Amino acid sequence: MIPVRGVEGQKILILGLGRSGLTAARAIQAGGGLPLCWDDGAPGRERAEAEGFVLHDPTAQGAFDEVAMLVTSPGIPHLYPGPHRAIAAALRAGVPVDNDIGLFFRSLATDRWDSFDVPPKVVAVTGSNGKSTTSALIAHLVAESGREVQLAGNIGRGVLDIDPPEDGGVVVLELSSYQTDLARALTPDIAVFTNLSPDHLDRHGGYGGYFAAKRRLFAEGGPDRAVIGVDEDEGLFLAGQLSQGPADDRVIRVSAGQKLAGPGWSVFARKGFLAEYRKGRQLASIDLREVRGLPGAHNHQNACAAYAVARSLGIAPRVIESALHSFAGLPHRSQLVAEAGGVRFVNDSKATNVDSAAKALQAFTGIRWICGGLEKEGGLEGLHPYLGGVVKAYVIGREAEHFALGLGEGVETEICGTMEQAVARAHADAKPGETVLLAPAAASFDQYDSFERRGEDFVARVEALLKS
């Protein structure tokens, strides 16, 4: 655990008692603070009481009279579409509002670090798509190089729940826009921006607010090195803002389809090959086509970003190349579930929006596509250019017919409704060389409580069919 620093003897109110909230309460207590806990749901309050924490209703009269800080969970809105009433009350009372990410960055470094030969490093990864895979891949590359590494944030453990890093240790954080938007301290050594596509727009007051939330990791944090995906205008703009000139190698530009020129530092993938350039010279090249855990151009972008971070940490290209081949990938992200009769079954349940589903569709051909769910803002027109590889779509979800209409007339569709029926129909229709791909392009909450549960259902249905 990382004890929170600077809270000795202070009353700190924690709002939201899920994983991050309860961990924050424990870390505040470990740092000598006095945690007061609240959750709008009775189960959360009961969990806190079971651990002996004091409950404190933030909406009561005078609730913030002696409170030094409010620490809120990421899922609770603090500005758009409207602040939670407890956060609004804290702001009116002049009480600072923070989250566990801010507490982590203000508390990680201690006097022990003065005795280390190599101070620990923090790598923080944000962006719309690929954050989890990039973060896990960075951790894998570091581990394969023989260094201590911990993975935390939106993946792995809560940030305050990790062990204090030792000499030369590396902490890799996956951070969402919800986390970067509010954290009062953001000081990673290396910060990564993968890409940007529309998501969570209601929470950030529009696309500009969403980008601004991501940008805070770089503008507020001032990382020693920034790894920036430049395939969208926002990434290109961000790289330009951070760089002092064309040869400034504190910014590493990353692309998944274009050759990057110039005297600076760049890593890009073209036609399945990763290339590293620095000062106008090629330093390394890696064939990504046979890296089974990273199929498709979107995963090649993840590989480029992870490679750039590993090189920034001093890991040699040959060590990185070897480690790439041993990376198994993550569940629900282009996860190869099975191969039978020449047909591949791939679980990309994490493809919850149009952009991520489009990337998954570009990674395969001969696709029996399982899609549908709770459709997000913007419609499905953005998918139309990428449906050429789809043989047939099998649509699930409570509004499957409406979703199928959004796909247009360019692809054959079948309304299945349930995952069980979709997997059975796709399996029955699939021919050798084809891929049954779950890439929903929609949220899961109409039928499942998370994209993980949806992916697990897909895997279970595939395994049951192949055993029968």
Q: Residue 288's closest CA among 234, 241, 231, 327?
A: 327
Q: Residue 458's closest CA among 340, 331, 361, 343?
A: 331
DSSP string, 200-214: SHHHHTSHHHHHHHH
Cα 326 off chain centre by: 21
Query: pTM of the predicted model, to two decimals?
Result: 0.85
Q: For residues 377 and 360, give the distance between their C-alpha atoms in angstroms, rounded to a whole number.
A: 19
Whether the CB-CB separation of 326 and 144 falls below 8 Å is answered with yes
pLDDT (0 to 100) of residue 200: 80
pLDDT (0 to 100) of residue 296: 81
Q: For residues 399 and 344, give the distance between their C-alpha atoms in angstroms, rounded to a whole number.
A: 27
Q: Where are the beta strands (DSSP E) in 203-327?
A: 225-229, 251-255, 265-270, 273-278, 281-287
Q: For residues 141 and 87, give the distance between their C-alpha atoms in angstroms, rounded to a whole number.
A: 40
Spell out the per-residue pLDDT of the chain, length 468, in tens.
Answer: 999 999 999 999 999 998 899 999 999 999 999 999 999 999 999 999 999 999 999 999 999 999 999 999 998 999 999 999 999 999 999 999 999 999 999 999 999 999 999 999 999 999 988 899 999 999 999 999 999 999 999 887 899 999 999 999 999 999 999 999 999 999 999 999 999 987 788 899 999 999 999 999 999 878 999 999 999 999 999 999 999 999 999 999 999 989 998 899 999 999 999 999 999 999 999 999 889 888 888 889 999 999 999 999 999 999 999 999 999 888 888 888 999 999 999 999 999 989 889 989 998 999 999 999 998 877 899 999 999 999 999 999 999 999 999 999 889 999 999 999 999 999 999 999 999 999 999 999 999 989 999 999 999 999 999 997
Cα 146 off chain centre by: 25
Residues annotated as binding site for ATP? 127-133
Interacting residues of 401 by C-beta distance below 8 A, sequence separation 6+:
395, 415
Tokens of 289: 């086509």
Q: Residue 21's closest CA among 98, 123, 95?
A: 98
pLDDT (0 to 100) of residue 237: 97
Q: Residue 308's closest CA among 286, 334, 332?
A: 286
Q: For residues 117 and 97, give the distance between their C-alpha atoms in angstroms, rounded to a whole number.
A: 36
Residues annotated as binding site? 127-133
Interacting residues of 347 by C-beta distance below 8 A, sequence separation 6+:
331, 332, 335, 337, 438, 455, 458, 459
Domains and CATH numbers, the chain: 11-98 (3.40.50.720), 107-325 (3.40.1190.10), 335-467 (3.90.190.20)
Q: Residue 425's closest CA among 400, 394, 402, 397?
A: 394
Whether the CB-CB separation of 100 and 182 falls below 8 Å is answered with no
Beta bridge partners of 275: 268, 285
